[in-house]
Amino acid sequence: MDFSGKHAVVTGGTGALGTAVVSTLLQAGASCTVPYVHDGEVERFPYRGQPQVTIVKVTDLADEGDVTKVFATAEAPLSLWASIHIAGGFAAGGISDIDKNAFMAQINGNLTSCFLCCRAAVKSMLSAGGGRIVNVAARPALEWRSGAGMTAYTAAKAGVGALTVALAEEVAKDGILVNAVAPSIMDTAANRKAMPKANYAAWPKIEEVAATILFLASRDNRVTRGAIVPVYGRS
């Protein structure tokens, strides 16, 4: 896949999956805009300071002003080709343990941020004549019963899935293909630490999930739209 001369926004680009996506994009010739919230994220980010990477400090991707700032940066000097939305957050908890504030934190962190970034990406891509959007949902977005004990997260990620399919239908005529991936638990250092007795070999590797995202974001993807692609590995 050749991304030479292409620009991409990668939200959540300083995290484990995001770093793998940015790495693959750079290897394929792309330039990237990567927003971040916490200074510690960017200090650990291996591509900080590279000329092909623009890092943008934000407070909240559920804020319209912050999203506008990110995408204004992404439009110069190259037009936006791909927008990949990984940013989000996870919180477990039974429904009796979650109040409205906790619920809205999941909605804003996962769904509102994705909606605002999709909207900004579409506006940029309409003027550029097309592009690709890839959202990151989660297994419970497809398998709702697996979301027991994390209902707020499941509702938010199911919303990402519905947003993806509806938007794909809306903008296909404009040359913008919108898809999502739905990972199961991925093989990251944080997940291994949280679940030390799990079968890590069954979990999808972040590089494998990144490869699926890159295909959906590439010109090689000419026909796939409105898909929520399971990336479960053997788990």
Instruction: List active site positions.
Output: 153
Whole-number Å distance between alpha carbons of 157 and 177: 20
Other C-beta atoms within 10 Å of 197: how many?
Answer: 4
For residue 115, the tally of other CB atoms under 10 A from its CB is 19
- 35 vs 53: CA distance, rounded Å: 10
Burial class (CB in 10 A: 0-12, 13-18, 19+), 223: exposed
Q: Residue 191 corresponds to which tokens in the numbers above?
A: 């997940």
CA angle 207/212/217 to nearest 5° reads 115
Total residues found in the chain within this entry: 235
CB atoms within 10 A of CB 224: 15
Q: Report how far residue 91's alpha carbon sits from residue 49's, in angstroms, rounded to the nearest whole number.
A: 32
